[in-house]
Amino acid sequence: MDPYFPQAFVSSTQNTFETMLKIKLQPGKPQQKAGSFPSYDISGIIGLSGDAIGSVSLSFPKSVALNAVAALLGTEVKTITAEVVDAVGELTNIVAGSAKVLLVPLRLSISLPSVVVGVNHQLAASQGVETVVVPFVSDLGHLALEISLKA
């Protein structure tokens, strides 16, 4: 995978969280995904197509998802509801859309977001598509960005 691909998504994720949630994210070291790490409680996933194919996802532990959505909506959120699912999907959509602008030469199209909810669910990439995982730390806790992209 071209090293610029993950960087575009990392920058987009940081900008999205800082602009919309007023939360600074500190990225960890990007690493090639081994197995189905990480396993969290809620993940927003967007498919990518065009001159490259794959997907991007944002995965959160339940408490981090609830706190992120509370910051986004400006109200307390205590349980995963349809509103939380929609907000996680929209955050993922904004990250993908912002990264798409940075990756103009790839003429990417993005799908509608899907959101998976379930304790310790695992995401798997398409066979033959490299996946890079970027962990983030913030005042909210940990989250992960997964980029699976094959040019």
Domains, the chain, in order of start with CATH, read 4-28+38-150 (3.40.1550.10)
The encoded tokens of residue 60 equal 């959160």
Assessment of whether the complete model's pTM goes beyond 0.75: yes
DSSP 105-128: GG--EE---EEEEEEEEE--PPTT
Question: What is the predicted pLDDT for the residue at 37?
Answer: 58
| 57 close to 134: Cβ distance less than 8 angstroms | no
Best CA proximity match to 76, nearest among 68, 88, 24, 43: 68
Per-residue pLDDT of 125-134, as tens digits, reads 667 778 899 9
Q: State which H helix or E strand residue 99 sits in.
A: helix 82-102
Mean pLDDT value of segment 82-102: 95
